[in-house]
Amino acid sequence: MKTRIMLIAVALLMLVHGCNGIGSGNKLVPVLVPAPELKSNDVFLKVAYVFNPAFPARSTEDINAMLAFTVLVAKEHLGLNITFSKVATLDIKDVFDQIPQKITDHIDPLIIDIHKDNFTRQDKDVYAKLLAETLSENSSTYEEELAFTQDHLDPKYTVRSEKGLVLTLTNTIFSRVKAYKQFLGNNPYNEWLYWQALGYTDLGYDILITNQPIISIETIDTDIHHALRGGISVGSASFNKASEFRARVFWSTFTFFQQHEVIRKLRGGMDYTDEEAIELSGAYLTHELGHMLLHLDHPFGRKECVMTPVPLLDVKTWYEDLDAPSCAIGSSKAMTPGAMKLYMFEKFM
Ligand SMILES: [Zn+2]
């Protein structure tokens, strides 16, 4: 089953599909980004905190405590000795102002505006078509998709067919996303595609941590988790032209500290103390480092693996299930360095 957390290859290939109609002269051609050749297990990563004053700030102490936890989990599960730089603080407006217009011109038409009060039939039809393609192409059977979905649906829904699953998930994302309108500003900072686009700027950090919620619906990339969450993303590893590893992680701490009822439901009804939120956010960030530094993929169904994505937002259960000795690097195809394909577009450079 695919996941929102790291769909670079699929997302960018689909972005190519999404731009097919603009003519061959303007066609985007994806280029494979080679996996980094680490000279040793010691890795130094430059970190920035992208701050939006519209949301509660995390202190430098909180972020350092979170990263300290990432260091521990990365050592245990990835065998890497991570050292983080001093965390630079950047204003989110200054950061987003660096995205060139030639890129926003490409991605804006692929975004469904979630600020509006009502979605059109066309919004839902385009999304449902994409979701149907996604579900038919992923590595899970309909029965597995249904079993996973049914546990996390509104009880009012009963799914009886593949088509019904698509329609139910479509209704779910468009209905749940409405609850997050209060977290949106009059800006594109919530847009996952804009965070991806930052990889084509000269911003040279390996990790961008933000207090900004990343909540969006696109017509080029989706999956069951993203639909069930109502469009929430926690983070991604994606191409980055201006850093040593040619990839960068962006990471939102928003949902870890948020007590909104809908988000609490996605956590399995749990509230996290600040201390738990810091530790769980730090632990889960390790998953993205596995994508970024080793190009590991998702070993679905193996709860012991740090590279298995968190279903919904129940990070605590995910963390409690991890068991590093049972999921060594190289122990399966997905856990073999280079398994994940990461792409970029030269045209955006
Ligand atoms: Zn992932």
Closest CA to 311 of 185, 140, 192, 193: 140
Compute, in angstroms, the gap from residue 129 CA to the centroid of ligand 1: 24
Is residue 71 in a domain? Answer: yes
Let me know how long the chain is: 349
CA of 191 to the centre of ligand 1 (A): 18
What pLDDT digit, counting tens, does each position of 214-244 carry? Answer: 999 998 878 788 898 899 999 999 999 988 9
Cα–Cα distance measured from residue 207 to residue 227, given in angstroms and rounded to the nearest whole number? 26
pTM greater than the 0.85 cutoff: yes
Closest CA to 218 of 4, 2, 28: 4
Q: For residue 308, is it within any domain?
A: yes
Provide CB contacts within 8 A for 320, sequence distance 6+: none
How far does the centroid of ligand 1 lie from the alpha carbon of residue 4, in Å?
7
Domain range holding 279?
8-348
Residue 1 lies inside a defined structural domain of this protein: no
Neighbours of 21 (CB within 10 A): 9
Question: Structurally, how many domains does the chain consist of?
Answer: 1
Cα 289 to ligand 1 centre (Å)? 9
**pLDDT tens digit sequence for 151-173:** 778 778 888 888 999 999 999 99
Q: Does residue 96 form part of some domain?
A: yes
Higher-confidence residue: 35 or 47? 47
Name the β-bridge partners of 235. 251
In a domain, 126, yes or no: yes
Higher-pLDDT residue of 298 and 214 is 214
| Ligand 1 midpoint to CA 296 (Å) | 8
CA of 298 to the centre of ligand 1 (A): 6
CA-based Rg of the chain, rounded to a whole angstrom?
19
pLDDT of residue 24: 34
| For range 171-194, the mean pLDDT | 94
Which residues neighbour 156 within 8 Å (Cβ) at sequence distance 6 or greater?
none
- Evaluate if residue 300 carries a pLDDT over 70: yes
Q: The tokens 């398994």 sit on which residue?
A: 339
Q: Provide the pLDDT for residue 156.
A: 82
How many degrees, rounded to 5, is the angle at CA 216 between CA 227 and CA 264? 60
Residues 6+ apart with CB under 8 A from 329: 78, 79, 294, 296, 335, 336, 337
